[in-house]
Structure 1
Amino acid sequence: MMSPTHIATGVVIAAPFAIFAPELAPLAAVSAMAGGVFPDLDLFVGVHRKTLHFPVYYWGAVALAGVLAVLVPTTATLAAFFFFLSAAVHSVADWFCGGNELRPWENTSEHAVFVHPLDRWLRPKRLIRWDGSPEDLALTAVLSLPGLFLFEGPVRLLTAATLVVAVVYAAVRKRVPDLAPWLAE
């Protein structure tokens, strides 16, 4: 899935706070948005969907951060909980996407996400055929609704900007390998 989909997922994770604890909602949403995009930073350092994608280990961080947020409820512990929860969901969600390859619509890779404790790659499920596919864009649009309608201010603005980025990325996705040959290296 494309990063905007994961960012929108982060807002969905934080959405109950917009209703039940509105004073904490912006912190929860921004933290979850950051956690949603964090694993994809391995596009720039290391091996994508391996270096910063932890479909098992992030859940330990979620449990620890959750306990800390309950025992010592501060903005830092709450932010950490939502950050790690969104990063964990991202790492698992990529399993349901296409393979980890420059042209995932060609279906040449059987590597969806690396599971470190098992020291192996999970095979892609391809429910979302590739990042930036029409179904990925549709999912991003649907997941953006809470950010656009339940939140105000920066969260709404970030959600709208993320949706615009998603539309542009989906429009040019199949040209990305040709436009940025450095990605192949």
Structure 2
Amino acid sequence: MMVITHVAVALLFAVPVALVEPSLAGPAAVGAFVGGALPDLDLFVGVHRRTLHFPVVGPALAVPAVGLALLVTTPLTVGAALALVGLGVHSASDALGAGEELRPWERTNTDAVYDHVGGRWWQARYVVPYDGSPRDLLVAVAASLPVLVVYDGPVRLVLGGLLGMAAVYTLLRRRLVPYFERVV
């Protein structure tokens, strides 16, 4: 899935915080944004979907972090909890997409995300056929709608801009492969 989809899904978890305690909406959104985007930094460092993706550990860390944020509700605990939720959901949900390859529609590599606990790759499920697919954009838009309704200001502006970028990427995704191959 596109990093934009992961960010939108992570921000969706910030919506209840914004509704229940508006003063914590900002830290929740920042934490969700960071956690939703962070795992994909391993595109630049290490092995993508292995180095910074933790599909078992991420969700396991998110549960006590959310519990702590409920017991000790501060901007820091809420932001950290949403960051861990975003990281966990991003990491685990990559198994719903394609394998790790430049032409995922060809399905030549079914390794979706590495499970550090089990010591093996989780297999791709192709619910979202590949990053930048029309279904990927649909998930990003669907996850964004509640966020765009509840949030205003910078969150709405940034997410709206990201959705615009996602739409362009979706239109160009298959055409961009030859350029990616030259870089890689």
TM-score range, shorter chain: over 0.9
Give the share of equivalent positions with the same residue, in percent: 43
Query: Aligned pair 1:92/2:77, yes or no?
Result: no
- Relative distance call for 1:114 and 1:26 in structure 2 (3 A) is same
Local SS of the residue matching 2:111: coil
CA contact (8 A) 1:177 1:183 kept: no
Query: Aligned pair 1:172/2:175, yes or no?
Result: no
For residues 133-178 of structure 1, give each alpha carbon's deviation from its aligned partner in whole angstroms, at most 9, with x where no partner exists: 0110111111111221111111111110110111111111112321
> Which amino acid is the alignment partner of residue 82 of structure 1?
L
For residues 21-78 of structure 1, give each alpha carbon's deviation from its aligned partner in whole angstroms, at most 9, with x where no partner exists: 1111122122101110111111111111111110011123213423432444322221
> Which amino acid is the alignment partner of residue 31 of structure 2?
S
The 5 Å alignment of 1:16-35 reads 16-35=16-35
Partner Cα separation in structure 2 for residue 49 and residue 86 of structure 1: 15
Partner Cα separation in structure 2 for residue 182 and residue 51 of structure 1: 23
Aligned length: 184
CA contact (8 A) 1:7 1:162 kept: no
The 5 Å alignment of 1:29-178 reads 29-178=29-178
Unaligned stretches of 5+ residues in structure 2: none
- Deviates further, 55-64 or 27-36: 55-64
Task: Note the C-alpha offset of 1:183.
Answer: 4.8
CA contact (8 A) 2:62 2:84 kept: yes
Instruction: State TM-score, norm by structure 2.
Output: 0.94
> Which amino acid is the alignment partner of residue 95 of structure 1?
A
Partner Cα separation in structure 1 for residue 140 and residue 85 of structure 2: 18
CA contact (8 A) 1:11 1:146 kept: no
- Relative distance call for 1:82 and 1:183 in structure 2 (3 A) is farther
Query: Aligned pair 1:7/2:37, yes or no?
Result: no
Task: Note the C-alpha offset of 1:124.
Answer: 0.5
> Which amino acid is the alignment partner of residue 69 of structure 1?
A
Unaligned stretches of 5+ residues in structure 1: none
